[in-house]
Each structure stands twice: as structure tokens, then as C-alpha cells.
Amino acid sequence: MKPALQTHGLGVRFGAFQAVNDVHLSLEPGARQALIGPNGAGKTTLINLLTGVIKPTAGRIEMDGQDITAFTADRRARMGLARTFQINTLFPSLTPLLSVVLAISEREGLGAVWWRPLTRHTALFDEAHALLGRLKLDALADVPVAELAYGKQRLLEIALAMAAKPRILLLDEPAAGVPEDESGELFEAIAELPQDISVLFIEHDMKLVFRFSRRISVLVAGQILTEGTPAEIGVDPRVREVYLGH
Ligand code: ADP
């Protein structure tokens, strides 16, 4: 089977600074893959390259074998590439239910949904409830976002990305700022997303990385240092050196 997402010699320079360099990254269908590396390694830049927010200065990106390097971020999103951000992008006064309804209506290109026939509304709300249920947010569907625990807000951001019906989901530090007692639950929900969705996530907490990823790619100074299963990465002396010092 072709990788869901694959890069070939991908790189980007900012002036004289090579932020991402000769990256060959492969995301298999159904992957739960972690992208780890020290601060400034280029992880977010790599996600920005994959989503099309920034253009590479070298290399190619393929989705299901199709070259998407020249495609805009919008076009990639329409093809099923979704992402979340490190920062909270939610509307605090909306409820989770309405947030998801809006995200679904955006996917459907419905614009203002409110004047649609009632049958359309019902389908939209049913889908929104199902999505919230999948992420165990259904009991909080009508609570304003601002009143949700931070871990639940991050979960809602994943629900909004899921509303686009992605085939590939790129999560930039989904647990950033989430207290430790909520982050396990957050990653359990990620692990339980439909198995046909390929997930690549940036995460700093090694306990979460080793518990929830099936593959790990290690980025150091813009380059993939190594890649493998958690068992392989856990005993790789080069990775230990990067994380534990010299
Ligand atoms: P990480 O996510 O691994 O912490 P980043 O991708 O945020 O790393 O950043 C990698 C490096 O690229 C950093 O040194 C950062 O300062 C630099 N960088 C990122 N975006 C730009 C930009 N638009 N212009 C110049 N330098 C940038």
C-alpha cells in the first residue's frame, strides 16, 4: 500500500538558515506516528510544509502517491489533510456542539447554515453529536467552550479537525498546556480515532510518545536523525544522546 503521506528530500531555507533539510518522512495508512526532537529542530516548520502553509525550497511531498508539492493549503485540506495548532483556536463563547456544526457546515460549503431546511439541520446536528460522542465530549456538548477543562478544549480542537473528514491528521502538540492527569485521556482519544486515519503528532512528553505511538521519527537540526518503533527508538544511543546530553 502507498504511504498516506511521503516526503522526498524535503527542505526549506529561511535566508541562510536551513530549517528543514533533506527530510524523507513516510506516514503509513492508519499510522499513529510521533514526530519528536529538541526545541527548534524544525517540527512545526515540517508540519507547515506538509499542510502547504509554507513552500519548500527543495524536495517533494506526495499524498497517496500523488505529488502535492505545488498544491495550496486549501486544496490539500480538501484532499483530506487536516491539522491542529499548538495554540488554542476555539471561540470561547460557542458551545462544542455549535463549534462542530459550524466546522461541518464549512466542510459542506454550506456557508450560513441557519436558513437551510430543517432536515439539513437534523443531519448536521446528528453528525456533530456523533463526532462529539466519538471524542467523549457528548456530555459537554452544550457547555460554553470557556468553561471546559483545558484538556477538553484540546479534544474539541481535534473534533473540529475531524469534522473535515480527514484521511490524514497532523497534530502540533495536542497536549501542550494540558495538565498531566488529562493528557493521557486526550491521547487515548487520539489512539481510538478511526483506524483508516493516519495521524502524525508532535509531542514532548516521552511517556505519552512511547505509550501512544507505533512509530517515532526523530528530527534534529532540521534532519531526520532516525525513525523506528518505540522499542527501537528507546534504545537508540543517538536519541539518548540528544535527549540526555553528552
Ligand atoms: P520546533 O517546532 O521543532 O521547535 P520550529 O519549526 O518552530 O521548531 O523552528 C525551527 C527553526 O526554524 C527555529 O530556529 C525557528 O526560529 C526557525 N524558523 C521557523 N520559522 C521561521 C521563519 N518563518 N523565518 C525564519 N526562521 C524560522
Q: What is the CATH number of the domain that holds 133?
A: 3.40.50.300
Distance 42 CA to ligand 1 centre (A): 6
> Which residue is listed with cell 528543514?
20
Nearest CA to ligand 1 atom 26: 14
| CB contact set of 58 (below 8 Å; sequence gap of 6+) | 9, 10, 11, 12, 22
Q: Tell me: the pLDDT tens digits for 82-139?
A: 998 777 778 889 999 999 998 888 887 766 555 666 566 788 899 999 999 999 999 9
| Domain that residue 52 falls in | 5-244
DSSP states along 63-110:
ETTEE-TTS-HHHHHHTTEEEE-SS----TTS-HHHHHHHHHHHHTT-
- Residues 168 and 186: their CA atoms lie apart, in Å, by 18
Q: Are 133 and 114 in contact (CB under 8 A)?
A: no
Contact residues of ligand 1, CB 6 A cut-off: 14, 17, 19, 37, 39-45
Nearest CA to ligand 1 atom 17: 19
- Residues 121 and 135: their CA atoms lie apart, in Å, by 21
Nearest CA to ligand 1 atom 23: 14
Cα atoms in the Cβ-side hemisphere of radius 13 Å centred on 235 = 3
| CB contact set of 183 (below 8 Å; sequence gap of 6+) | 151, 175, 205, 208
- Residues 246 and 238: their CA atoms lie apart, in Å, by 10
pTM given for the model:
0.93
**What pLDDT does 109 receive?**
74
Nearest CA to ligand 1 atom 13: 40
Distance 14 CA to ligand 1 centre (A): 9
**What pLDDT does 88 receive?**
74
Ligand 1 atom nearest residue 37's Cα: 3
**What pLDDT does 90 receive?**
86
**What pLDDT does 121 receive?**
76
- State whether the Cα torsion 34-35-37-38 is positive or negative: negative
Nearest CA to ligand 1 atom 18: 19
- Residues 196 and 96: their CA atoms lie apart, in Å, by 25
Residue type present at position 233: I
Number of domains comprising the chain? 1
ipTM of the complex: 0.97
- State whether the Cα torsion 157-160-165-170 is positive or negative: negative
Question: Which among 23, 39, 45, 47 is the best mutation to test ligand 1's pocket, defined by most ligand atoms within 8 Å of the CB?
Answer: 45
Q: Low-confidence residues of the chain, pLDDT below 50?
A: none
- Residues 238 and 30: their CA atoms lie apart, in Å, by 28
> Which residue is listed with cell 505545488?
70
